[in-house]
Structure formats: structure tokens, C-alpha cells
A = this chain, B = another copy of it.
Amino acid sequence: MQTRPRPYHHGDLRAALLARAEDTLREKGPAALSLRELARDLGVSHAAPSRHFKDKQALLDALALTGFERLSTTLAASQETAGDSFADRLGALARSYVGFATANAELLDLMFSIKHDPAASEALVQASQGMSVLATDLIAEGRRTGEVRDAPLDAIAIPMFSTLHGFASLAVSSTLPPGALDANLDDVIAHTLRGCAPDHPTPH
């Protein structure tokens, strides 16, 4: 029925485990993720994963890390194609973040349900902080052009990132009124722009 079973997994078992884990996460949720089933799906013994991940949590951490890396790439790409104004760039960032969140709901949940303690892997901590770097750059530039009020970077970056992340997180958990996600996102962007605006906006 089957070609003679190969004794060993052919290629990169580590990468195969991560890819398969993400599929399972997406399709059946985090509770259904089992190392033994992953191994079965890939045709290796149930003990094989331990060569690449010391335990289940290590696999989950690695999965979250790939999530942060892809999110960072996605957000950075949104800035390449965005216009020059602060409003355009913020809108692109927000839509990009929410797009990733809705397309990878379970993964986003996993990414932020992991404690980002100093105890966590350094790579993970760094990856999750790397995201806010983008927001900070955006704000710094907006301040130079006078589109953003003069205040310490964190005093704007943290509220802004909180809003973005909060909206994405509520959307993912279906806690928002259904159906009007795009309109709600427009409101969120407009509200954030108001929060960032200088006291006496330059008359055009």
C-alpha cells in the first residue's frame, strides 16, 4: 500500500514540525496540538521531536517566534508601499497589523499568551520588542514633519501600540460588534490620529 518506509525523516524535521504545528493550530486550535500527533503526521516516531525541541513549550516558543518574525516583516512591508504622510503610514501599519491578526488568529493568541519575561528566550523578547521599533520610527518622523505633537516617544508609542494591539486582539476573540470590522478600524485610526495631533494643528 505504501512505498517502503524510509528509516529516517528526509529533510528538516524541525521546520516540518513547526509548519505542521501551525496548520494544526489554525485548523483545530491550541488544545488539539500534540507532539505525538505531529510526529505521526510527519511519519516519524513520537520521540523524534525531542531531538529538536526539548519539550512542548519549546516548540510553542519557537512557533511564536516565527510568528513575530513574520509579523515584523509584514509591518515593515506595509511601510514600503505607504504614502508619505503620517496619516497614510499609520493607516497602513494599522491595516497591516489587523490583517495579520485576523489571518492568523490562533497564532497571534499564542504569541501573546507566552510570558515575555527576561526568563523567556532572548530571541522571543527581542522579536516582540522589534515590533514597537517600527511604531517608534513612525512617530519620530511624524514629529519632525509636525504631524505629531511634541512629547516623549513612549508617551505616544505605547498608547498607539496598545490601541492597535487591543483592536486586533478584540477582533480575534470576536468581542467586537460583528460585520463592521473595516469601519471600526477606520474609527480606530481616526481616533489615534487625534491622540497624536499637535495642540494647534497647522492650518493648511
* A residues neighboring B (CB under 8 Å): 31, 57, 109, 112-117, 128-129, 154-156, 158-167, 169-170, 173-177, 184, 187-188, 190-192, 194-195, 197
Contact = CB atoms under 8 A, between A and B. Distances in A.
Contacts of A174: 115-117
A158 B115 CA distance: 26
Count of identical protomers in the assembly: 2
Contact of A154 (B166, B167, B177): B177
Nearest to A160: B191
A140 to B, nearest CB: 16
A73 to B, nearest CB: 19
Contact of A166 (B57, B117, B162): B162
A6 B166 CA distance: 49
A173 B190 CA distance: 27
9 contacts: A31-B57, A109-B113, A112-B169, A112-B173, A114-B173, A129-B175, A158-B184, A159-B188, A162-B164
